Amino acid sequence: MSMADIWKSLKTPEHRLAWVVAIAADALQIAVAPLFAEGGISPADVVLDVVVGALLIRLLGWHWAFLPTFAAELMPGFDLFPTWTAAVFFVTRQQVRTGEPEILPPGPAPEPRR
């Protein structure tokens, strides 16, 4: 599956914005690695991770995948792995591919699409 296919499968603007935020945060941590080299000790790293975590929770809602991602971001050296992007991938793929049936509210059935 290519990145273009993943992007097309994202149905909501929140999912797309969450991907942009996660990719930008991981790219920043890799591009400016000396600022984030100490992991959880680095003030810049902590501020970035708290802001990114808050934004992703706001966009996608709370998901357990964000907790280990935040913990991994506190460890030195893990900033070179795109953990935020991996977490957003996991959360958005899970939401898109759920096998559960859609439960509609009570009322008349919607008209079929043509």
> What are the φ and ψ backbone dihedral angles of 86, each rounded to 5 degrees?
-65, -40
pLDDT of 96 > 90? The answer is no
Please provide the average confidence, as pLDDT, over all residues in the chain: 79
Give tens-digit pLDDT for 3-48.
666 666 677 888 889 999 999 998 888 887 776 666 556 777 788 8
Contacts of 49 (CB under 8 A, 6+ apart): 25, 70, 73, 74
Rounded-to-integer distance, Cα 92 and Cα 9, Å = 10
- From the CA atom positions of the chain, what is the Rg in Å? 17
* H runs (alpha helix) in the chain: 3-9, 13-31, 43-60, 66-73, 83-96
Write down the domain spans for the chain. Answer: 12-94
pLDDT of 95 > 60? The answer is no
C-alpha 9: how far from its chain's center? 15
pLDDT of 55 > 90? The answer is yes
